[in-house]
């Protein structure tokens, strides 16, 4: 019997319960045993239980490294988790890989600009600021966070490409006429999108360089072309089920079965 875990942190568990339940239902049979575990208990658990693989849906790459040192197969690997969940590292990775990026700085140089916490996700801790006073106010309110600054681009939305096994599964466009953030979780509109070959090639190259199993690559549709804005790990699936008939969870489960 192959034994595995699907792991979330306590904050994200409740709003991802459907995703968890789908995995527990579809990846439990006579060959594979899958259980859910909160990441706070992960390392103690693997010390006393047989664990062959972990579907890691949280954001602590050091935990993933510890699992990999125990020869446990983790979906996704530590490098993917580390790069995707640190916006400064994402920018540096894109620049070094000669992929489309938004120029990023540790200080605000021109206004208006986008101010992002390095560790934020889901459109949280992202601010459109117009002057030094607004920046100082945010820094005072969020003194525990580390921020980066990016040029603000007028845009027609953004697009997430879902990459599984280094192949494109689908692409979803998001736009929000009421907010500078296009996130679906913040009320953005979503629709299926046909990306260009160049966008597909960039997203697949990112997955190849990271050796990622299942990620999202977000592109800003800015004037004059597109820019990669984020790499998503863990990547959510709500938009896929909202706009397509693709059962992306089943596709991911099939991939996992073939790689454990």
> Any alpha helices (H) in 28-178, and if so which ranges?
42-48, 61-69, 78-84, 87-96, 132-141
pLDDT at 184 (0 to 100) = 46
CATH code, residues 2-75: 3.40.50.20
| Closest CA relative to residue 159, chosen from 187, 113, 192, 204 | 192
Total number of residues shown for the chain: 260
Question: Across the chain, what does the average pLDDT equal?
Answer: 93
**pLDDT tens digit sequence for 7-40:** 999 999 999 999 999 999 999 999 999 999 999 9
Residue 56 is given by DSSP the state E
Domain locations in the chain? 2-75, 83-101+153-244, 106-151
Q: Do domains 2-75 and 83-101+153-244 have the same CATH topology?
A: no
pLDDT at 225 (0 to 100) = 84
* CATH class of the structural domain 83-101+153-244: alpha beta
Tokens for 139, please give them: 């820094």
| Rounded Cα–Cα distance for residues 112 and 161 (Å) | 28
| Rounded Cα–Cα distance for residues 82 and 71 (Å) | 18
Residue with tokens 């693997």: 46
pLDDT at 179 (0 to 100) = 57
pLDDT at 233 (0 to 100) = 97
| Rounded Cα–Cα distance for residues 81 and 60 (Å) | 7
Helices (H) and strands (E) in the chain, counts: 10, 13
| Closest CA relative to residue 215, chosen from 190, 257, 178, 252 | 252
Tokens for 62, please give them: 């050091």
Residues of the chain with pLDDT under 70: 177-188
């Amino acid at each position: 019997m192959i034994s595995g875990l699907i792991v979330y942190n306590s904050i994200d568990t409740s709003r991802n319960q459907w995703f968890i339940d789908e995995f527990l239902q579809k990846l439990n049979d006579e060959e594979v045993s899958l259980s859910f575990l909160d990441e706070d208990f992960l390392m103690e658990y693997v010390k006393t239980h047989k664990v062959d693989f972990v579907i890691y849906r949280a954001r602590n790459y050091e935990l993933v490294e510890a699992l990999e040192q125990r020869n446990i197969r983790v979906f996704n690997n530590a490098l993917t988790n580390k790069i995707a969940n640190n916006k400064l590292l994402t920018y540096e990775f894109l620049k070094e890989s000669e992929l489309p990026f938004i120029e990023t700085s540790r200080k605000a140089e021109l206004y208006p600009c986008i101010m992002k916490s390095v560790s934020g996700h889901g459109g949280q801790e992202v601010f459109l600021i117009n002057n030094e006073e607004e920046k100082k106010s945010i820094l005072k309110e969020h003194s525990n966070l580390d921020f980066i600054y990016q040029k603000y681009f007028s845009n027609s939305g953004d697009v997430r490409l879902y990459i599984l096994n280094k192949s494109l599964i689908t692409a979803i466009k998001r736009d929000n006429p009421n907010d500078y953030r296009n996130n679906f979780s913040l009320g953005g509109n979503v629709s299926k999108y046909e990306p260009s070959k160049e966008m597909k090639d960039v997203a697949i190259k990112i997955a190849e360089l990271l050796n990622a199993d299942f990620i999202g690559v977000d592109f800003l549709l800015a004037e004059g072309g597109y820019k990669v804005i984020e790499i998503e790990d863990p990547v959510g699936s709500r938009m896929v089920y909202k706009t397509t008939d693709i059962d992306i969870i089943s596709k991911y489960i099939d991939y996992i079965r073939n790689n454990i």
